Amino acid sequence: MPSPVPGHRGPGPSPGEVRHHRTAGRRGPTARRRAARTGQYLALLGYLVFLAFPLLWLVSTAFKPPRELASLHPGWIPDHPTLDNFRQAFDEQPLLRSAGNSLIASLAAAVITVAIATPMAYVMARHHRSALSRAATGWIVVSQAFPFVLVIIPLFLVLKEVRLIDSLSGLIMVYVVWSLPFALWMLAGYARAVPRELEEAAAVDGAGRLRVLVSVTMPLLTPGIVATALFAFITAWNEFFFALVLLKSPRKQTMPIILTHFIGTEGVADLGPLAAASLLATLPSLVLFALIQRRITSGTLAGAVKH
């Protein structure tokens, strides 16, 4: 116990000490918060660099002449940038036609997948405790475990029976079926996040079932629908194996198939044109994502319901 000091008003600290103590107390956590935030930003930056590296390297490679591609000390910036790789890629392969085929297949697959998955996902979300819903969820999980090679031959025979081999329609059908389980699962999660109370409030205000779905539920589901469509699009855009097996006519081949034409035996590749064509193949996905990423925002429901 310290001895009393003259002028001291009791055992507690003086007002000055209290002020000092409070500021110090505030400054401590603030400094820690700043350090944590800086750490977060650094980690995020590292993650961004990690993610962006392959894309940036692809861009760099696409503009390098052959001799620079085989350099022992490759640099980021080409010493003699060239468009020859792009010219060669366009000269050798029907890139535009294959990109068009990929675009048709991917857009159609995305639209149809979302059109089928949205109502199904809503029903699953609203009745997620029913046995049927649980069984459907189980089926979705199991279906994701089937390897391509297990289904490809039966699928091929079925499509052949209905004359859909070597047609984009058949390929789109396969993409829809292949994407549907995961899309359903994804959308059901979004649908479950839409509070029932909002729908009930709209119903109390006199809105009918359809009006509730159109005016209340759908706008809130939009980010989920966009994200699911994007998933279906990118899955179809990048898909190789089904397209390889199901499409025979050169006129119908998609982008991933055309890209393999730059690759020879034992993995030997015509690296420059392959990089150029690959860069072009990544652009639609990037552009699409850039255009609609703002639609995929969380927080649209913030404050909608007071729990």
Partner 1 sequence: MRRRTLLAASATGALLSGCAPERRRGTGGRITLRFQSLAWQQESVVANKQLVGEWNAAHPDIRVEYVQGSWDGVHDQLLTSFEGGEAPDIIHDATDDLADFAYGGYLADLTDLLPRRLKDEIPPRTWQTATFDGGVHGVPFLQEPRVLIANRTLLERARVRIPTAERPWSWAEFEDAAEELTRDGTYGVAWPLKEPVSATLNLSLSTGGKVFHRGTDGKVTVRFDAADQRVPRVIHDQLGGDRTAARTTLGMGGSDTLPGFFGGKYAMVPLGFSYRQQVVQQAPKGFAWTVLPSPAGPGGDQRQGVSPQTLSIAADSPYQREAARFIDFFLRPPHMVRLARGDWMLPTGRTALRDPALRTRRHGWATGTSLAGQLRPAPAQTVRGYPEWKDKVATPALQEYYSGAIGMGELRERLVDDGNLVLARYQR
Residue 82 burial (CB < 10 Å; 0-12/13-18/19+)? middle
Bridge partners (DSSP) listed for residue 236: none
Q: Mark the segment that binds partner 1 (CB under 8 A) among 6-14, 212-220, 266-274, 293-301.
A: 266-274
Question: Which residues, at least 6 apart from 261, have a Cβ–Cβ distance to it below 8 Å?
Answer: 92, 93
Is 56 a binding residue for partner 1 by CB under 8 A? The answer is no
Minimal distance in Å, beta carbon 211 to partner 1?
A: 49
Q: What is the DSSP letter of 78?
A: -
Amino acid at 198: L
Residue 238: CB minimum distance to partner 1, A: 14
| Residues between 159 and 178 that touch partner 1 (CB under 8 A) | 160-161, 165
CA 288, CA 110: separation in Å to the nearest integer? 12
- Residue-wise over 111-120: b if at least 16 C-beta within 10 A, else e? ebbbebbbeb
Give the residue, chosen from 112, 116, 152, 177, that forms a contact with partner 1 under the rule CB under 8 A: 152
Question: According to the binding rule CB under 8 A, does residue 270 interact with partner 1?
Answer: yes
- Exactly one of 1, 77, 131, 149 binds partner 1 (CB under 8 A); which one? 149
261 binds partner 1 (CB under 8 A): yes
Angle formed by the axes of helices 84-92 and 95-126, nearest 10°: 80
Name the residue nearer to partner 1 (CB basis): 25 or 66: 66
- Give the binding site for partner 1 (CB under 8 A): 66-67, 69-74, 88, 92, 147, 149-150, 152-154, 156-157, 160-161, 165, 240-241, 244-245, 248-250, 253, 257, 260-271
